[in-house]
Structures are given as structure tokens and as C-alpha cells.
Structure 1
């Protein structure tokens, strides 16, 4: 089985994914890290040297590769992955995949991301929490149609890691 975690940057996909993989004795894979390893460069370098179209094509190729694996994997996607090409269709039409949207409110995402925005190229140019709130709101409005196709949506507002893990496991049983 492959468990796919979907959500906006900062929603906890990697953090929760690692914990879930440990609890289930599955492998954990962050798709961005997988792409970086395969392409021998960071996501930022790939965007800069080969462009977004190249990156998105490779992202779909590697997503498909992982989804066709026979291993038990918890897979954390990049925030934009479900929104490009047929990526969401690859996820929801695969009988070996269970998908979860980790939904965190805009104010909580903004609070979580504001202090680490320098590490995130997509939001590094935003200088105030108001700008970040607006940016996230616009992005989530555009991305919700994709995220909401997940098999399950978990509201993670004000939940501790253990509560989120329990919610995930309940849906897997």
C-alpha cells in the first residue's frame, strides 16, 4: 500500500509522514527529495537550470514510478504536485493508493510559514504576515479543487502529531 499525503507547504506532510511510516513500519519518501536524488540537484537548481516545464514533467514521471512500487510507502508530495497535469488522477485512480489531504487553516499555515519563509523560495519574497496570508489564500483557492479529490480530508488545526496520526490510522483500518 502507498499512503499519499497531500497539502499546502507547512501542513505537516513530511513531519507526519515520517511518524506514520515509523508507526506502520513503512518506508517514508518525500517526492521532492526523490526528484532531487534522481536529478542530482535541488528543486531550486532544477527550476533555474532546466525550467518549470522540465521539472513538472519529471515530477509526474517520478510520481508514477513511486505509485507503481510494490513497497509499502508513505509518500509526502510537494504542495503543487497534485495540481499539475494528470498527477491527481494518477493518485486517485491507483487501487494501491490511499490519499489524505492534511488541511490546515490559512492563519495557522501563515503563522507556521512566516518564520521559515527564507527557506521556501515560493514565499521568500513576502515581507509581512498580511502578504503571506493573501498569498496562501489565493494559492489554496486555486489548489483546493485538486486537494479535495483526496480520498480523505483531515482537518489538522490545533491537533497534536499524535492526534493526527491516530486520525490517519483510523481511516486505514
Structure 2
């Protein structure tokens, strides 16, 4: 079983991945953390020192590596599905699940988040909703290629497990 969790930042990919890992006794990989451990740099450092294009190459290579693991639950970074053939890779390797949370809820979560997120730093709640809406115009066509789309404010692990069961 291979499950790839995709969606915009703040949609709950990492939280969902950790929960599913515990419930199903399957290893969990946060792709950004995997990249950071592999290259001994944070994602923001890689962006700053090497640029986005180089980061995306590293991200694709890391995604190909973790797609070979079995079983595994992978939470990707929000942009990962939008580059190269990453969506095709995830859909072919396993179950790709888009956690589709509305922009107002995402903004709420991101404002309350303790994580420092450079892309949204200093934005007011209204600016943040507008920013998310703009980004989703670009990303949604990629996200919607997922083999499974779960929509809602609170997507439950049981919903993902039900989709996994359908794939068996």
C-alpha cells in the first residue's frame, strides 16, 4: 500500500499522514523533511541558495525514491504535484489523495499555525485568502488529477482509509 497526500499548505497532509501511519502501522514520510535530511539543509535554505528550479529537481528525485517504498504514506509539499510528471508518478505508484479544504479554512489554520511559512509572512487574513485563491487557480488543475478527492473542513482519517479499502 502506497498513499500520497496532496493539497495546499495547511490542509492537514502531515497531520493526516502521521495519524494514518499510527492507525495502519505503516511508515510515514513527510517529503519536505525527507529532502531536508537527505541534503542537510532546510527547504527555505535550498530555495535561497539554489533556487526553486533546483529544489523542484531534488523534490522530484526524492518523490521517485519514496514511491519505491512499500508500504508507505507520503505527505508531499503543496507545490510538488505541480511540477514534472509528479502527479502521474503518484497516481501510478499508489493512491493519490487530494485533501481539498476551502481557502477561508486554510487561511484560518495558517494564521494560527506555529510554523513559519515564508510565502505567507506578514499577510492579513483577507490578503491571505486572496493569495490562497490565486495560488489554487494555478494548482487546482494538478491537484484534481488525484485518484481521490476528499473535500471538507475536517477530513477524517477514516475517509482516507475507506478510499484505501476501495483500492484493494
Q: TM-score range by the shorter chain?
A: over 0.9
Give the Cα–Cα distance (whole angstroms) in 2 for the partners of residues 15 and 55 of structure 1.
23
Q: Is the 8 A contact 1:117 1:124 kept in 2?
A: no
Give the Cα–Cα distance (whole angstroms) in 2 for the partners of residues 105 and 48 of structure 1.
30
**Count of paired positions:** 165
Q: Is the 8 A contact 1:82 1:146 kept in 2?
A: yes
Three-state SS of the structure 2 residue aligned to 1:122 is helix
Give the Cα–Cα distance (whole angstroms) in 2 for the partners of residues 11 and 34 of structure 1.
19
Indicate whether 1:172 and 2:168 are aligned: no
Q: Unaligned regions of 5+ residues in structure 1, if any? A: none
Moved over 6 A (4+): none
- After TM superposition, the structure 1 = structure 2 runs for residues 75-154 of structure 1, keeping only pairs within 5 Å, are 75-94=74-93, 97-116=94-113, 119-126=116-123, 128-154=124-150
TM superposition score normalised by structure 2:
0.94
Kindly state the Cα deviation for residue 30 of structure 1 after the two structures are TM-superposed: 0.2
TM superposition score normalised by structure 1:
0.91
- After TM superposition, the structure 1 = structure 2 runs for residues 6-21 of structure 1, keeping only pairs within 5 Å, are 6-21=6-21
Cα distance change on mapping 1:90 and 1:57 into 2, 3 Å: same
Residues 107-156 of structure 1 show CA distances to partners (whole Å, capped at 9, x for unaligned) of: 10011112338700111142x11110100001111100010011111113
Q: CA RMSD in A?
A: 1.3
Give the Cα–Cα distance (whole angstroms) in 1 for the partners of residues 42 and 113 of structure 2.
18
- After TM superposition, the structure 1 = structure 2 runs for residues 21-100 of structure 1, keeping only pairs within 5 Å, are 21-69=21-69, 71-94=70-93, 97-100=94-97
Three-state SS of the structure 1 residue aligned to 2:134 is helix
